[in-house]
């Protein structure tokens, strides 16, 4: 994810909402000894605005607060207030189509594993971001590698939180995939079942039915839930289950979903190949229609 024009993300112009006020983009800083930096006590959301409306804004705001609870801290703003902050940030930056990033973290009052009394900070940034994957790759279908790291046992991590620390193995896996010429990597879980990609959920198609891994040790994405609902509205069967890697040769289509990825077809995973076809294209179109702001009746 690069900033428009190749600018580093700390060198852009604009405004970031930070702890109750708008500050110039380049001045939105935190101290090097912030607990969130050293001990990953940080949660965030990835959202998109279409035509000035943030898609599923309430669901994202509620999940942000819930993620903080899983990490044992409370964001000092309600979901309703967070929704208003996001909308105000979008308007302050005069954007209508944008990526929206709320982030909350523990501050720097104490340094050590325990940080019950550290202050909790909240910031919201927005910026233009047309597509997570290269448009040409997206058109042909992504090439995915198999990740070395696996999604951990939920007894070892707060797997329902969208927390910064849980993305460490995702960054490592995506870097490795890109070095080998792939767009991303598919991760297995601790049992060896198919889990997800580094920043997106994954779906497969067989005989017109959609199969997707049960999210029992990774994030049940908001886009994932949206696409499942869209598929059911179209009369498509959706089967959530554990999927073994060796089953991939029996699937005809594959696609990934996420706020950044939206609905993106997959052409191959390691040596398994797929061809984007009717189901994938139908859900791509349905999702595009779903995220557009609905016109209010006069």
Residues recognised as catalytic: 162
Could you list the beta-strand ranges (E) of 172-288.
184-188, 194-197, 201-206, 209-213, 238-241, 253-258, 262-269, 272-273
Look at residues 294, 198, 286, 184 and name the one whose alpha carbon lies nearest to residue 234: 286
Neighbours of 80 (CB within 10 A): 11
Residues of 7-41 as b/e, b for ≥16 C-beta within 10 angstroms? eeeeebebbbbbeeebeebeebeeeeebbbbebbb
Residue 132: both structure tokens together: 């997570």
Question: How far is Cα 224 from Cα 24, in angstroms, rounded to an integer?
Answer: 34
Neighbouring C-alpha atoms within 13 Å toward the C-beta of 6: 0
Coil, strand, or helix at residue 104? strand
CA-CA distances (angstroms) from residue 205 to 209, 258, 292? 6, 18, 26
């Amino acid at each position: 994810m690069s900033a428009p024009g190749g600018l580093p993300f700390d060198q852009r112009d604009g405004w970031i909402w930070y702890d109750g006020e708008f500050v110039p983009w380049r001045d939105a800083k935190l101290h090097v000894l912030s607990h969130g930096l050293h001990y990953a006590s940080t949660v965030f959301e990835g959202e998109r605005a279409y035509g000035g409306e943030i898609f599923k804004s309430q669901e994202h705001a509620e999940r942000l607060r819930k993620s903080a609870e899983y990490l044992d801290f409370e964001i000092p703003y309600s979901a309703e207030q967070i929704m208003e902050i996001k909308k105000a940030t979008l308007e302050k930056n005069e954007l209508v189509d944008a990526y929206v990033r709320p982030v909350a973290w523990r501050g720097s009052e104490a340094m050590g594993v325990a940080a019950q009394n550290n202050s909790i900070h909240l910031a919201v940034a927005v910026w233009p971001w047309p597509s997570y994957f290269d448009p040409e790759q997206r058109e042909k279908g992504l090439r995915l590698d198999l990740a070395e790291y696996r999604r951990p046992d939920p007894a070892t991590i707060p797997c329902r939180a969208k927390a910064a620390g849980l993305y460490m193995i995702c960054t490592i896996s995506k870097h490795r995939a890109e070095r080998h010429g792939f767009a991303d990597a598919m991760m297995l879980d601790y049992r060896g079942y198919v889990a997800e990609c580094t920043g997106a959920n994954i779906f497969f198609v067989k005989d017109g039915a959609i199969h997707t891994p049960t999210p029992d040790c990774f994030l049940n994405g908001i886009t994932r839930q949206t696409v499942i609902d869209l598929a059911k509205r179209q009369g498509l069967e959706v089967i959530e289950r554990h999927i073994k890697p060796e089953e991939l040769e029996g699937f005809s289509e594959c696609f990934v979903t996420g706020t950044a990825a939206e609905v993106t077809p997959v052409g191959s995973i390691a040596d398994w190949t797929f061809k984007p076809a009717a189901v994938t294209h139908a859900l791509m179109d349905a999702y595009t229609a779903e995220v557009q702001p609905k016109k209010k009746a006069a």
